[in-house]
Amino acid sequence: MIPSSLAIDSKLPWVGTTIFTVMSRLATECGAINLSQGFPDFSAEPALFEATMRAMQNGRNQYPPMAGLPELRHAIGAKVESLYGARFDPESEITVTAGATQALFTAIAAFVRPGDEVIVFAPVYDSYVPAIETVGGRAVYASLLFPDYRPDWESVRRLVSPRTRMIIVNTPNNPTGSLMTADDLATLADIVRDTDIVVLSDEVYEHIVFDGGKHLSVISREDLAARSIVVSSFGKTYHITGWKIGYVLGAAALMNEFRKVHQFNVFTVNTPCQAGIAEYMADPSRYLGLAAFYEQKRDFFRAQLQGSRFEFLPCRSTYFQLVRYDAISDLPDREFAEWLTREVGVAAIPVSVFYPDGRDDRVVRFCFAKQDSTLSAAGERLRRI
């Protein structure tokens, strides 16, 4: 290693390696089945790769427009209008991003200034708070109420202050699998009415909703659409997390500010992959069928755990199942997850890592975006404990 004597004043002194990297590395070291990190162990359809290869072969390998290929932005706009009844101008209100994490960071950087406060809900996805603090903002924490993880709107009302610049919502929610309802959106709209608060809505699992439920985007309400930046992800939708391509929606005035930052922290996104996705999107069944596909995965995984001592928490969406392990162990959840990986051979994520105070409800998260053979093998090991 190269030694350095530089005095570095870290912007994020409390941040280390993410739990996802830690658990995936441990799973590899132990030869464990990795149900921790949220990515599929199966491939997308060949038609997507073929469309992308055609774009490469046809010479579409140089910079695209900063906001994304026009055909992809138009395809996104058509999908959004069809699903949510909201019309966004592809030229001024839709931007293609290098995945959802970049989109979230860019939105925070565009609107949050030093001293501003951003309300987030705990358990909170791990990228939000570091982004807020990197740009000099301060995260303040509302709650998702255990065990069904409904938003505690009274805590939000108490937290709103003249310094509140943004509220971040995540529906369908990672890590909990909960969904915001029409009443939730109405309450959010009431809280932000007559303020300059921006709503940043992380909706990357928008197509993965179970049991006849429906994803309600913030853009389904005009009063929220006018003040919201919405983030989604092709990685989650088309099983291509490694492509790192997502998009944002927002009113032109908001998008103008978003693009000012986007053009300097990314500028633009992989051209042939954008072209391939645009062609692939022409068949809506490829995203409309996603809920049924993952509902089968959820139910199959639950069936593998029948007879075990794990207790299922509700899973209304996403490809994550939370379970309580009180009947198995009184270890703290991080120690339990490490024990599960080393001794049982299945890796999970301890949910306490999503709380600022490390709150531990003895809950871990399994990812079921895996082949049935993977889930079956994991279930065989988990039933033994």
pLDDT tens sequence across 158-195 = 999 999 999 999 999 999 999 999 999 999 999 999 99
Strand partners, 33: 346
pLDDT tens sequence across 1-41 = 888 889 888 988 888 888 889 999 999 999 999 999 898 99
- HSE-up (13 A, CA, CB side) for residue 300: 19
pLDDT at 82: 97
Question: Is residue 133 within 8 Å of residue 111, measured between CB atoms?
Answer: no
What DSSP assignment string belongs to 71-90?
Answer: HHHHHHHHHHHHHHS----T
Question: Is residue 169 within 8 Å of residue 149, measured between CB atoms?
Answer: no
Amino acid identity for residue 335 in this structure = E
Q: Which residues, including other chains, have CB under 8 Å from residue 241's CB and lie 6 or more apart?
A: 38, 39, 40, 235
pTM above 0.85, yes or no: yes
Question: Is residue 340 within 8 Å of residue 329, measured between CB atoms?
Answer: no
DSSP state of 246: E
Cα 162 to chain center, whole Å? 28
Region for 278 from its dihedrals, namely left if φ exceeds 0, alpha if ψ lies in -120 to 50, beta otherwise: alpha
pLDDT at 183: 98
Output the CA angle 149-328-310, nearest 5 degrees: 45
Q: Which residues, including other chains, have CB under 8 Å from residue 154's CB and lie 6 or more apart?
A: none
Question: Is residue 345 within 8 Å of residue 166, measured between CB atoms?
Answer: no
H or E stretch at 303: helix 290-304
Could you give the residue range(s) of every CATH 3.90.1150.10 domain in the chain? 19-44+288-382
Output the CA angle 76-81-87, nearest 5 degrees: 95
Q: Which residues, including other chains, have CB under 8 Å from residue 356's CB and lie 6 or more apart?
A: 122, 124, 129, 139, 141
Question: Is residue 261 within 8 Å of residue 280, measured between CB atoms?
Answer: no
How far apart are the C-alpha atoms of 303 and 309, rounded to whole Å?
A: 13
For residue 161, give Cα distances in angstroms to 33, 192, 197: 46, 11, 10
Could you give the residue range(s) of every CATH 3.40.640.10 domain in the chain? 46-284
CATH code for the structural domain at 19-44+288-382: 3.90.1150.10
Q: Which residues of the chain have pLDDT under 70?
A: none
How far apart are the C-alpha atoms of 275 and 287, rounded to whole Å?
A: 17
Q: Which residues, including other chains, have CB under 8 Å from residue 152's CB and lie 6 or more apart?
A: 142, 143, 144, 145
H or E stretch at 232: strand 228-233
Strand partners, 142: 121
How far apart are the C-alpha atoms of 192 and 187, rounded to whole Å?
A: 9
pLDDT at 242: 96
Residue 373, helix vs strand vs coil: helix
Residue 339, helix vs strand vs coil: helix
Task: Report H helices in 135-284.
Answer: 153-159, 182-192, 222-225, 234-238, 252-265, 271-280
pLDDT at 247: 98
pLDDT at 336: 98
CATH code for the structural domain at 46-284: 3.40.640.10
